[in-house]
Structure formats: C-alpha cells, structure tokens
Structure 1
C-alpha cells in the first residue's frame, strides 16, 4: 500500500509541474420530450462554469458543445414551454466524449418559473412517480465510497435502504426482505443479476451489472407507479446506454475485482448506428496473494459480458439489440483448509461445489408516432441456473467426541455425496407500452408485461444422523424437488397523470397480476395514486398510496418430500400458495434550501397481508427469507401471515458545487410480522434505524484531479434467537428455537469507508487510479452464527464480516 501512496503523490507532483494548458472534450447528445420521446429543436444547452458557452439543438434534437474543459461541469438545458433541467456534477474526461441524452418535461404554462418544478440531478425519470423515487447516475455508482461501481451498493446510501453486509449487496428497503426488490432492464423483469446467486434472492457478492453499461436509471422505495408489478419492497428500473455513434472509444481496467475491457463506436456514421461491448474476468486470486481476508480460503472465479447494438430507423424510430450475463464458480473445500481458516460462506462439515449462471438477451423498439404518442416494446429471453454438490466429511473423533486435528487440519476418514441439485429457469418476456400526451396537463401511459416461465428443479439429498461417540450415518436419497413445468405471468396496467392546476398534480393508475400456476395467484385490481402539491417558495408536498402484490420465489412452489417414493404418494406441498400483498402509504415533503441544497422528509406505513407462513404453528414467515446463501425448506404454507412496517426518513443533499458535495440520509423504522403462531415479532431485517453520510472533495489541477470521498454507515443489528442446541448438534448446523425467534439482536453495524480517485488527463487519454478502502477502521461486525465444533467442546461460533477490504483499480480511457 505504501507504494500506491507513493505512486499517487509522485504522479500528482509531476503532472502538476509539467501541466501548461487544460485539455478539453466534446459534450453532446439529444434532447427529447419526456412523454412522447419526440426530438426537440431550438433547445438551449448551456455550460455554466467559466466562460459560459451554449448552443441550440437541431431538428433532430441533437446538440454539441465542443472544447469543454475537463473536470466536473454543470449544464443548464432550457426551452420555452418546458421545465428547465439543471445537471450537476457532469464529468468531462479527455479520454472519452461525454454524451448526455436528456428528456424535458412540458410546463403547464409557457412561462412557468416555479423553481421547485425545475428538473434537477436526482429527480426520477419516470413522469408518473410522485414519492419515494430517485434517479441515479452512472457516476454515482463510482464516486460513492464503498459502492464498488455497483448500482445496488450505491443505492444503500439512500434513505430507507440498508446494505449492512460486507459480503453481499442485498438491499433491505424499509425493513422488507431483499426478495421483495424488482429488477427491470429496458422494461422487462430479469433474474437476480449477481454472481453466486441463490434461488429466491435478489443480491449476491458481486454484481453482473456494471455502471459502465448503464444510462441514468430510476430507483423506487415505495408506492411505485402501476407499471411496476410483482414487487412489494422496491424497484431498480435500469436503462442500458448506447455506444458512441461518431468515434471509436476504448476502456481497459485492471483491479482486484476483475480485469475489464470495453469497446464502443459507430457501426455506420451515416445512419448513426453504434455498438457497445464489455467483458470482465475475476482477479480475486489477488486477494489471497496479498493476504487479504475475503471470508474463505477458496478463490471464487467469475466472468461476465454485455453488449448493445443501436440502430436508428426512419421517422425517429430506433431498435436496439442488447444482452448481458455471467457465470461464477466456487469450491469450498473444508477438507483442504486449516482449522484456523475462516469460512463464512459455507458449512464446516462438508466440501461444497457451486456454480451459477445468468443471462438475458433482448430487442427494444422505440417509435414516436407524433409529438403526442410514443411506443416502446421489448422482447427478451433470460435464464438462470444454480448447480450445487455437497460431500459430507467423516471426521475422526477422540474419546470426548471432538474432531482430531493433525498439522492444523481436521483428520478426515472419508467423504460421501449428500446433496446434488440443479435449479434452472428460462423466461420469455414481452413488455409493451404506449405514452399519449393529450396536452401539457394530461398524459396517459398504458402497457402490458408478460412472462412465460419454464421451470426445471431437481434436488436430491441424504439425511445425516450424527452420534456423540459413533460415526455419522447417512440415510437414503430423498428427492425434494423434481419438477418441469411452465407458467404464465401477466401484468396489464394503465397510469394517468393530470395537472389539476398550476400547483397540483395527480398521478393515478390501475394494474392487475395473474400467475397461472394456481387459482390463488390472481390480483384483479391494484389501485395506485399519488398527489403532488407545489407549496411555493421552492417547496413541495406529496402523498401516495397503492396496493402491491408479488409471487413467491418460484422454487418454493415445487418443494416436496421424497417425490419419487410411490408408497408415500406425496404431493407438492406449496403448489397452491397465493400472492403476498401489501398496501403502501407515503407522505413526502421536499424543499430546496438553496441553489444546490435539498431537504427531503418522508414518512410511510406499509401493511402486509396474505403472507405465506407454515400451516402448522410456528414462527416461520416468507418475510424473513431472501438474504444469504441458503434456500428455505418450509412445511406446507398458507397465506395467513401478516406484517407491518412504518418509519420516517430524512435526506439532506448538497449537489456538487464549489468542488465538493455531501449526502446525509437517516431513517427510523419498525418492521414486525406474525407467523402462524400469532406472535408479533421483529423481522430479521428490523434494524430500527439506518444512517449514512457521504462526503467528497475534488482538488483540480491543470490536467489532473484528485477526488477524496468518505462514507460512514450505522445500522441496527440483525435479529436472531436462542439456539436449539440438541437439534443443532444432531444436524450439525445452527437451528434456532422457534418460540424465541428474533428475541435477540446482534450489535449494531458500523463501517467507515474512504475512497481516493486520481485522474490524469492527456490528449484524448484519461488515466484513473482509484482505491476504495472499505471498512478502513477494520471494525468487526457480526454476520451470523455457525456450527463449528471447537476443542473446548463448544460448537456455536460467531462469524464476523469481512473487515478491512482495499479495492484497487487502474483504468485508462482512450
């Protein structure tokens, strides 16, 4: 690390000493009407810093600002009859053109000058969103300390969101399970977009989606518009960016998390078509070589890729072909580890072999028929699969029933296969929507989202019976999953936004959800509505409410017990389970305290019902699932459980100006549920509070810049309960007492991150050296309890999170 500090310091001194004149780059793009996507001419695009310069868009909505000095810039976009857009913190590098495509929203009156109605950085792209919505930029995923260039970890900085897990990027929104988060790309729902994904989860250790492939996108935390169905917690609504259609650009990056390359450029300059492609291969072996703890001695391997081909057509239509995916493998070999080695990702009594794959390819067609009507259609095919094999280890035990240790390794007599499963899903998706603008006051959006799902679930396991002084015994193979079925998921919707007056806006919609797997998975009408009131003096008050529903993790429907044993004649236990439903109620107050300072307060209440719980009396609820690396094996489920979440959130944000920015978010909340035992309990994710503060300062020189950012996170600890010691020793894994579930809480989670980002601009070339010091103070946060027999006779072990993790990369853009 000392060499890295020396490199940064010496490079900065040399480049500053020999710099004479700053480099420049071109900023260009298109300006469109937000609702109809029709190109807007005669729009003023103005650079605000330094020598103020500007230009006008042409008949196709195109603009170009040449010779923009490198660095962070602010751009103002305005046109009579439209709300002004003010874009802060736009990064201009010498190594690549900055392409900004912006959508303007039409004003009710042509000379509307109410400041709070101006579009700004952070305002949601979705015109139907009233509350709990935020646009995030590609740059935010890079500049927030601890984000590692991922949208999920970046979103953990926002109010109401928890990401208190060093090893995974699961998103806990307002106390909800991470499985309630909906991931969409170009309008279609996609599988879990993470490496080492487990069925029924939406997170993982490393994201397949990189910020390099994204355009500005939206993130929702509650009461989202009617177009978003099959989600009860939050939504990532992602858009993929087009490649540069005028010049070829390249990017190479080397770092601890992977070696990456990206290419983009014009396919035909005449037609404006373009390509973009990227590829990454893991470098996690560097962590082992450098002696950095990643929670296991096993070296994960993964690779991923993405592409997008964009073809402009006649009459402003466009078609894009796109895709991304990845594969990942890890072998957790306890038989080859030393006793002192950590293994927070597996179990200490077996060797585990695991592989996951995910991919999606699609085509998106966009067509503005007029200045009032716009059509968007996406057809995609996606798939995901998980393969796992476990070999049980027969340890040699001494007279006291403890494992024998030789040369700091457990002595293993033999091993035998006890688990073999493959889960796979293939999905064909169609998303079609039409926007029609009746006038500047009234806009209608209607659409249909349809998924055809093909399931192939196969799982077999053997019960392991252990004895204090005798070798373990293996039972016969039992088939818990053996299903190949097809299902249809359909969600039509309509959403209408109308300006009731110059200061009052109503957004109302209806949606429906139909899942063909059973008759209980039909939600005929789900109303959504929001009202925004401009109070004047740069203030806005908003309220929203809506009914939301979601199907269960699909593997849960097909769980059985020894399905191939004809004498038992067992049926699928959960084939008839219905939808989980939730009412969202949100109130929001938004105020601009200054030109670059915004305050936002939100309060919410969420009522969950029809929640699957076990038919027999227990504390189980589906609301506690969806995080970690394990599946759930519930008994017969019924939709009789309930839950409720409520809380208040604060956001104080200073947009980038005067060389710095900050973001402070805090939330107080309470999340409870009832299982079939009728007891009101804390959910696993009821941390009760979450606090984040992010700050960054940029130091600029003639040809270089140094950005120093910091982040502090404090979150309430996860809940757990007393351990059932007898059952835990019998099964050799931690089993909690049902009656005492979630009556105990781990200590609060704390983390301080620091990021240093140094850029060197040369003629059409940009070097970036960055180090993200995750948990720089090395705070030991508890992850979970694990079963780990020790020489002193104890077997309950506290597993700690990763601790200090330096993430380094070097990138060159040219």
Structure 2
C-alpha cells in the first residue's frame, strides 16, 4: 500500500494547486436555506412558524412558513450559521452550526414539540447533540449528522467509525468498523434504515457480524439520525448492545444539484433534484467505485495484488401525494470481492493479509429496497407503513498450495455460500391523546429465507466434510406499544412493551421498557432508564450440524433468545449554550446466553468482531454475562471557530461459560478515552480546517495457545481453562485532519487529508496460525498488527 500513499500526496498537492489558481476567479456569495417545519407527532405542516437567522449582522434575516409549513430563507451569506424556529404553543428550537456552501442549497426537515403550557412565549430548547430524534428515548441516545461524519478526524466519512468517538463505545480495530458498546459484542448492534431493519451494511461482511472494513452506507444521503447505547425504547428489538436508526434525507425538490468526489476510499458521483417542482417530488442517488481497483486497472502498482474491489449505490425517491400523505421509495446496496493469491509466488509472501498456505477467493453482497407510505389523519394522528426486501450473501473458496521443485499443486480445501433474504412489513401509528400524552404502537414482521451450504477438507482423511446444508424459511414478529407522558413541562415519563416471537423454534419474549427525564433546572437534567431486551442468535448458528452426522440433525435449532436487563442513570449539565457535560452509569445483566453443553469457556458473547465464522458444538442457553461502568462526556459544539469533545469510560465486562468460571469477555478493555477537536477559519470565500483526535483504550483480551493441538487442527487452539487471561498492550492512535474549502460562483470545492495513525504506532490485533509447508519447523504463530500510518485524501466538488 505504500505506493498508494505516495500517489495520494501527489494528487493532493496537484488539487491544491488547481484550487489556488481558481481563487483568482472566486467571489463571496450567498445561498438559500429552505425546508419544512412540522409537528413532531402528527407530521403536519405548521403555517406561520418564524425562522430567524442568528448571526452577528446588524440586519436580522428571517421568514415564516407557508400554509403547508414550507419556508425559504434567501441571500444567506456563505459560512456557518444558526437558526431559531418558533411557533405559538410549541417549544422553541435552535439549530446550531448549519454549513452554507455555494454549491448546494441547505434543505432542512425540522420538527417542533408541543408545549404543554399555553402561553405566547414558549420555552427555549437548544438543539444540542444530547437526546435523539426519537422522542421516546430518554437515556443513552444521541443524534448525529452528515457533518459529524466528515468533521471528526479519522472517521473516514463512516457513521460507525464516527460513533466510536462517543462515550461507552470502543472502535480500536483499524481494519474493521465494528463498534463495541459497553463491553457487548458488536453483533448486538441493530441497524435500521428508513424505519425498516436491515442486514450488515458493510462491504466484505461475514455472517454473524455487523461490521466490516468499508461501509456501504454513503453519508451523502443520510439525514439527522440516532445512535443509542442502551435501555432503548420499545420500538427497538432483537438487539442487546445498541441501535443505529438511520434516516435518509430527501433530495432538493426545487434545484438539480450534483457532487463528484475522488478519494482513496472511493470515487463517487451523487445527484439530487426535483422530479416535479409543482408536486415537490424529488430524487437523490449516489454511486461509488473502489479507487484502488481503478488504480490497478490502469497499471499503477499499489503494493499488493490483493486489491479490494467494491462498489455501492443508494437512492431515495420522494413523492408528496397530498398535503397529508407521502410516498417514498429507497434502497442501498453493494458488492465486494478480494482474491488473495499466493500460488503465483515462488516463495510464500510474508507481508500479505491471509494465510500463506492457500489461495483465497471471497465475495459478498448486500442490498435493501423498500417503499413507505405515510398519512396524517388529523392534527393528532399519524401513521406510516413500509415494505422492504433485503438480501445478503457471502461466498468463499480456498485452495491449498503445495510447492514442489518443478511445479505447484492446488488442492481445494474449503467452499461455502451463505445466502439470506428478508421480506419485511413494518408499520406504526402515533396518536396524540393530549398535549401531555402521546401513544405509539407498531409491528415488524420479517420473513427469513435461508440458503446455507459449507464443506471443508479433512486433511487427515483427505475427504470433504459437510458442516451446513440447509434451505428453508421462518418468521420473526415484533409488535410493540409505547407511551410518552409529560407530567409537567420539565418531567417526562416514557414507557413501553416490546414482544418478540421467532417461529423457527417458537422462542418468545415480552419486554418492558421504562424511561424518565427530569429537567430540574433550565440547564440541568436527570434521567433514568430500564429495559429488558432480547436477541435471536446469528441465523446460521441454528443450522450447523456436526461433520459426519445427519444434515438434518440441527444441534442448535432450538436455541432461545439471549436476554438482558439494562439499567441506566444519567446526569446532563449545560454549562452554556455551546458547552455541556454528561455522565452516565449503567449496569447490564445478560442471561440465557448460548454456551456449550460440554463444560468449557465458550460463550457466544465473545463472537462477532472478526472475519472468521465459528463452528460451536451443541449449545444451550445456560450462560450469563455482566457489564457495568461509568461514562463521561465534555463537549463544546462548534462556535467561535472551534469545537472539542472529550469522552471517557471505565467498565467491566465479564461472563460465565458452561464451566461456571467467571472470565473477562474478549471486549473487556476496562477503559477507553477519546479527545478530539478542530478549528475552522474563513477568509472571504476560502475556509481552512484543522482537526485532531487521540484515542487511548485498553488492549483486547486473548488466550494462551495450545501449540500441539494447534498444529494438529491446522488452526489456532487456545488453552480453554486460561481463556482471556492475557491482554494485548493498550491501544493508542493519533489522527490529524487537514481541510480546505473554496466557494466560487455556484461551485464548492473541498479537499481534505486524513493522516490516520500519525505516529505509526504498532497496535496489536491478533495471533494467527500461518503454517509454512516448505519449512514445517518454522514458527507457525504470527502476531498480526493493526494498520500503520495511513494517509487518506478526497477531493469533492458540489455544483
């Protein structure tokens, strides 16, 4: 990869030169902020709402919404601004740090919450990042936006990597964007898009995981979304760790706009605009292709033949049917492949990811397409229904490489194809019983279609053994009901009940949820939350059969849900409009965790964060786990040219397998600390940014290796009774982000350079088994390190 870094820097200097030349033709300009203001519950447009631009100019700019709640604020100077939205009978809303560029109009979709006190002057409620778009969430929830995925150093424009900066979240694996929340497996994270649950939205995805090296999600289509880390509301189920509730924004319904981007992580095109200006319908679409694959295609040597090849796309079509109804169609999808070929080398390579004794071919793809219809019946009742279909597939084939003096033989040793499709029907109704009381009820109905097949070569018998051979279907049903009751203007009680039923084995759960928020002073709030949560197992686990047994002998088919009690206490103090401090304490008790019937240290709580599948023997829901800790956030939102965020957590994460011994989980790093910030200055039409991030976290737990058993099994075998008694050194990484933006007439040029792992720290990743068949006496265990210094750049143009 080193040559690619050189090309990155050369390209960066070239684009900087072009932009510098372009400044002679630049000018200071203005742009438009437009959007719609609606009621938070009924989604009905609010006519006559006042929108005021908050800046230091002597002339205050403002406007009001039309009869359908739409507004247009023209001639807004380029740069960062805040706006205030007010409407009689509703809580006032302040939106900070709106980025206004020449190349794109700013389109906002804002919701106001009813004030339960009737008066002409409403309560000011600054829109900080605390809280969530979902009004039923009272603890462990935070909104995030497109800007944050681009502003935070080292985030790579990836929502998951951006979220690793938040308190209670670990993201200390450079090769993947798995997020470890409060010591839980990343497999416990739920992804939701446009109100439907979706499979792992990452390239090179492995069954049973929710992460990957490159995200399929394109931040250019995302609107303001929610990220939750515990005790989430009743509408969220089948998750133990956290929730990404992602919303896609609507395209601009008045003006066609385009974006082109070239960077190391991908070359992209995006377009949006009106389908019908009269009906306010719009389109939004993006496409991305792997830049490294493009380099290889034109003959540029990037330092390895194992070039990741991927592409993805996303879209949303929005059609307002009437003043009260809306229809939309949306989708995301991506394909990825990589081939690691060692047979072409005369000597086994030592600097290549993957095993050195085999050729490996890997493919994966994922896609979701859906449609939704929403309708406002009246000022009190709103309903939405969505229908979607998703598909995910991973495929691999391995050839063992035997090198001789005159030739090289290839012997097939592994092949599998895991395919899963889900057809989903989701819907809910929200009814405002009064200004104080809102009721919401809904249902998620998923039909799963499975096709799993896997065979592996037994080198002792020289015969293939079948581990999976299943085709079938089943259903997962999740009804829920939840309520928000505002006892006073400053005291809110949320309650709900979630149910989950998996028809494959009739697993069933009934899960109460409860949350309370008390704002006991204008700047201070106390919150508490409780939830009982359940999650089905990674679906392929149900259909594993021990090699040599009947394919219909599904040893784990009757596994029940893993269950968990969440308790959270939270204190939030706004030191000023721009600075806040937040502390949370939590306790999580996990039970009915799958462990092996034969006494051992195995637990499913340790799985879900690698590129490897796992093949457990017969399992039973007899394991337990425990997570507890404290978290602290000190944050200054962007103001006066700078922002910063300090997050820290101290935690314990333990479990018991079927042997009854209490151990550290794989994810028990004990602490995580993030410090990030940045500054931004604008000189006429040119903006310069500088950002940085420091991450310090406890090393991952690992286990002593049983060397004799490892050589016999041709794979790493640990000493079971000593599982997780070792720990890798603490993880440390420093990132720097440099950015430059130029606004010219109807164009915005932007170039950014992320210097990831600036000091080239060698952080430990894992211990792997890499036998050398030419030299059996050589060491066969290798310490794998995380990525070293990695410069990433992109150039983007909006027009």
Q: Which bin holds the TM-score, normalised by the shorter protein?
A: over 0.9
Alpha-carbon distance in 1 for matches of 2:204, 2:501: 30
Q: What is the match of residue 554 of structure 1?
A: 539
Alpha-carbon distance in 1 for matches of 2:302, 2:723: 35
Q: How do 1:775-790 residues align onto structure 2 when only pairs under 5 Å count? A: 775-789=757-771
Q: What is the match of residue 522 of structure 1?
A: 508
Alpha-carbon distance in 2 for matches of 1:374, 1:347: 55
CA displacement, residues 308-360 of structure 1 (integer Å, 9 cap, x when unaligned): 1111112321000111101001111122355454233x223211111001001
Q: How do 1:8-47 residues align onto structure 2 when only pairs under 5 Å count? A: 21-47=27-53
Q: How do 1:61-140 residues align onto structure 2 when only pairs under 5 Å count? A: 61-111=69-119, 117-140=125-148
- CA 1:341 to 1:286, structure 2 compared with 1: closer, same or farther past 3 Å? farther
Match of 1:310 among 318, 329, 336: 318
**Is the aligned partner of 1:758 residue 2:740?**
yes
Deviation for aligned residue 1:748: 0.8
- CA 1:383 to 1:3, structure 2 compared with 1: closer, same or farther past 3 Å? closer
Deviation for aligned residue 1:770: 1.0
Deviation for aligned residue 1:107: 1.4
- CA 1:562 to 1:794, structure 2 compared with 1: closer, same or farther past 3 Å? closer
Q: What is the match of residue 3 of structure 2?
A: none
Q: How do 1:686-697 residues align onto structure 2 when only pairs under 5 Å count? A: 686-697=668-679
Alpha-carbon distance in 1 for matches of 2:704, 2:150: 41
Confirm or deny: 8 A CA contact 1:138 1:216 kept in the other structure.
Answer: yes
Deviation for aligned residue 1:284: 2.0
Q: How do 1:200-349 residues align onto structure 2 when only pairs under 5 Å count? A: 200-285=208-293, 297-337=305-345, 339-344=348-353, 346-349=354-357
Confirm or deny: 8 A CA contact 2:131 2:139 kept in the other structure.
Answer: no
Confirm or deny: 8 A CA contact 1:297 1:343 kept in the other structure.
Answer: no
Alpha-carbon distance in 1 for matches of 2:164, 2:663: 25
Match of 1:632, SS?
Answer: coil
Match of 1:284, SS?
Answer: helix
Q: What is the match of residue 461 of structure 1?
A: 456
Alpha-carbon distance in 2 for matches of 1:119, 1:703: 28
**Is the aligned partner of 1:660 residue 2:642?**
yes
Q: What is the match of residue 469 of structure 1?
A: none
Alpha-carbon distance in 1 for matches of 2:743, 2:500: 52
Match of 2:394, SS?
Answer: strand
Deviation for aligned residue 1:8: 7.0
- CA 1:461 to 1:266, structure 2 compared with 1: closer, same or farther past 3 Å? same
Q: What is the match of residue 490 of structure 1?
A: 477
- CA 1:542 to 1:292, structure 2 compared with 1: closer, same or farther past 3 Å? farther
**Is the aligned partner of 1:580 residue 2:562?**
yes
Q: What is the match of residue 385 of structure 1?
A: 393
Q: What is the match of residue 813 of structure 1?
A: 798
CA displacement, residues 509-541 of structure 1 (integer Å, 9 cap, x when unaligned): 00100000103x111x20000111111141000
Alpha-carbon distance in 2 for matches of 1:283, 1:307: 21
**Is the aligned partner of 1:161 residue 2:146?**
no
CA displacement, residues 693-748 of structure 1 (integer Å, 9 cap, x when unaligned): 11010010111101111111111111111101011112222211111100000011
Q: What is the match of residue 401 of structure 1?
A: none
Confirm or deny: 8 A CA contact 1:668 1:690 kept in the other structure.
Answer: yes
Q: What is the match of residue 394 of structure 1?
A: 402
CA displacement, residues 224-269 of structure 1 (integer Å, 9 cap, x when unaligned): 0000000000000011111111011111111111111011111111
Alpha-carbon distance in 1 for matches of 2:140, 2:417: 38
Match of 1:334, SS?
Answer: coil
- CA 1:547 to 1:764, structure 2 compared with 1: closer, same or farther past 3 Å? same
Confirm or deny: 8 A CA contact 2:126 2:577 kept in the other structure.
Answer: no
Match of 2:323, SS?
Answer: helix
Match of 1:557, SS?
Answer: helix
CA displacement, residues 15-60 of structure 1 (integer Å, 9 cap, x when unaligned): 66775x5211101000111111111111111111132311111111
Q: How do 1:374-453 residues align onto structure 2 when only pairs under 5 Å count? A: 374-395=382-403, 413-453=408-448
Deviation for aligned residue 1:773: 1.1
Deviation for aligned residue 1:395: 4.3
Q: What is the match of residue 141 of structure 1?
A: 149
- CA 1:49 to 1:16, structure 2 compared with 1: closer, same or farther past 3 Å? farther
- CA 1:639 to 1:130, structure 2 compared with 1: closer, same or farther past 3 Å? same
Alpha-carbon distance in 2 for matches of 1:262, 1:14: 26
Alpha-carbon distance in 1 for matches of 2:240, 2:275: 41
Confirm or deny: 8 A CA contact 1:88 1:121 kept in the other structure.
Answer: no
Match of 1:147, SS?
Answer: coil
CA displacement, residues 753-795 of structure 1 (integer Å, 9 cap, x when unaligned): 1111211111111111111111111111111011234767322
CA displacement, residues 81-127 of structure 1 (integer Å, 9 cap, x when unaligned): 21222111211110011101111111121349897854334431000
> Structure 1: any 5+ residue segments left out of the alignment?
397-405, 466-473
Match of 2:517 among 516, 528, 532: 532
Match of 2:428, SS?
Answer: strand
Confirm or deny: 8 A CA contact 2:759 2:789 kept in the other structure.
Answer: yes
Q: TM-score, normalized by length of structure 1?
A: 0.93
**Is the aligned partner of 1:716 residue 2:667?**
no
Alpha-carbon distance in 2 for matches of 1:72, 1:425: 45
Alpha-carbon distance in 1 for matches of 2:536, 2:89: 43
Q: How do 1:672-683 residues align onto structure 2 when only pairs under 5 Å count? A: 672-683=654-665
Match of 2:542, SS?
Answer: helix
Match of 1:145, SS?
Answer: coil
**Is the aligned partner of 1:364 residue 2:372?**
yes
**Is the aligned partner of 1:746 residue 2:731?**
no
Q: Paired residues, what number?
A: 784
Q: How do 1:595-634 residues align onto structure 2 when only pairs under 5 Å count? A: 595-634=577-616
Alpha-carbon distance in 1 for matches of 2:335, 2:551: 37
Q: What is the match of residue 509 of structure 1?
A: 496
Alpha-carbon distance in 1 for matches of 2:690, 2:714: 47
Alpha-carbon distance in 2 for matches of 1:376, 1:341: 55
**Is the aligned partner of 1:799 residue 2:794?**
no
Deviation for aligned residue 1:663: 1.1
Alpha-carbon distance in 2 for matches of 1:5, 1:784: 34
Match of 1:599, SS?
Answer: strand
Q: Which moved more, 1:767-776 or 1:331-340?
A: 331-340
Match of 1:191, SS?
Answer: coil
- CA 1:587 to 1:290, structure 2 compared with 1: closer, same or farther past 3 Å? farther
Alpha-carbon distance in 2 for matches of 1:434, 1:38: 14
Alpha-carbon distance in 1 for matches of 2:62, 2:172: 44
- CA 1:9 to 1:199, structure 2 compared with 1: closer, same or farther past 3 Å? closer
Confirm or deny: 8 A CA contact 2:231 2:530 kept in the other structure.
Answer: yes
Alpha-carbon distance in 1 for matches of 2:746, 2:78: 11
Q: What is the match of residue 756 of structure 2?
A: 774
Alpha-carbon distance in 1 for matches of 2:638, 2:626: 37
Alpha-carbon distance in 1 for matches of 2:577, 2:527: 21
> Structure 2: any 5+ residue segments left out of the alignment?
1-5
